[in-house]
Structure formats: C-alpha cells, structure tokens
Amino acid sequence: MIEFRSVAIAGLAVVTLSGITQGQGPARRQSIVPGTGAEESTKVTLALAVGSQRYDETRQGRCTYTAMASIYNTLAAMWSVQYSLAGNSSLALTVWRPVRGDTTAKLNFYIGEGPTQHRIATVKGGKMLGKGTVQVTKRGPGGRFEITGTSAEGATVRGYIDCEKFAAPIAVAGN
C-alpha cells in the first residue's frame, strides 16, 4: 500500500512516500485518487516496455510535484505518477531529486497485474530493488519521465511516461 506521510521541518509541510521500497505495490484504486477532485486528475500517456509486455495508452491518472519533500531524512524535489492501466494493472512512479550533495534523480517504480509485478527502487536508505535511471523533462505545466532499467524480477524496463500537468501532493498525517 502506498502511504503518504507529512513531516514538519522548520515550519514546512513535507510529504514523503513509503511502501514501494518495502517491495509492496500500490493498492488497487480508481484512476482518480479518492479524496481528490476531477480537476486534480490529468492526462497520462505511457509508452513503456517491461520485459515482453508493451504499455501504450493514454488515460486519466494523478501526477504530483513538490519542490521540497523528504525521503530517508534527505531533502529532495519529488514527482509522482499514480495510474490504473487497462485491465487489472496499476503503475506507480516516484522520482526523488536531492537538493544537496548528489543530485542524481532516484526512483521507486512499480507496475503490476495480479501476481505479476516489476519493481525498481534506487533511493538510498531503503531496500534497493533492480537498477535504473530516470530523466525528468519539464513540459509546460507537466513533464516527461524517461525510464531505463532492469526490475528486481529481471525484466528490462524502457520508455516514457508523460503527465499533462502536475498537482500538489496530498499531505496525510501519519508516523
């Protein structure tokens, strides 16, 4: 299950994401995240190959961005995509770009259908799964994520995800 956590740092509300790095995929959900208005959903386009499976589709999903978040006590910009694929599949991507030190973007990636799942987690401090890189390119109010890697399950992951626009993440209290 994906869980957002909010943490106060010097008066800033900071959002973190956990769950994927423990090897769990996102819970099954509708294309629009519960508790958000339709205005916060956006057009998401996939052009991904995961192993022998192709994902080429466009539908509504949720894309978020915040310039200041935290992951494992590291301040970072954060982008995320949550998307229900055709059929019974789901996809989650979170990209973290630290604001100090090594500013190389790290990712948590999950795509799955039933018992078949593919995961990449490259965020230091969490359980590392597979290997991969991501490049984020701003495009107007949205952006593109170009992903290349190998999942923990051994599948090659290559392609892109486009978000028409980014909304602010939803902060949920937790510990």
Has residue 168 been placed in a domain?
Answer: no
- Write down the pLDDT at residue 168: 92
- Write down the pLDDT at residue 85: 84
- Write down the pLDDT at residue 39: 55
Which tens digits make up the pLDDT trace of 6-52?
Answer: 333 233 333 333 333 333 444 333 333 444 445 579 999 999 999 99
Has residue 172 been placed in a domain?
Answer: no
Has residue 173 been placed in a domain?
Answer: no
Lowest-pLDDT range of 56-65, 122-131, 152-161, 166-175: 166-175
Confidence check: pLDDT of 158 > 90: yes
For residues 47-65, average pLDDT = 95
pTM: 0.77
Has residue 175 been placed in a domain?
Answer: no
Has residue 14 been placed in a domain?
Answer: yes
Has residue 170 been placed in a domain?
Answer: no
Q: Name the pLDDT band for 114 (thresholds 50, 70, 90).
A: confident
Confidence check: pLDDT of 164 > 50: yes
CA angle 44, 49, 51 (to 5 degrees): 140
For residues 66-88, average pLDDT = 91
For residues 123-131, average pLDDT = 95
Question: What are the two backbone dihedrals, phi and then psi, of residue 39, each rounded to the nearest 5 degrees?
Answer: -65, -15
For residues 134-145, average pLDDT = 96
Q: What is the largest CA-CA distance in the chain?
A: 47
Would residue 99 be called left, alpha or beta, if left means φ above 0 and alpha means ψ between -120 and 50 degrees? alpha
Residue keyed to tokens 């006590």: 73
- Write down the pLDDT at residue 2: 35
Has residue 70 been placed in a domain?
Answer: yes
Enclosing domain of residue 46: 3-163
- Please tell me the total count of domains within the chain: 1
Helix (H, G, I), strand (E, B) or coil at 89: strand
Confidence check: pLDDT of 133 > 70: yes
Has residue 16 been placed in a domain?
Answer: yes
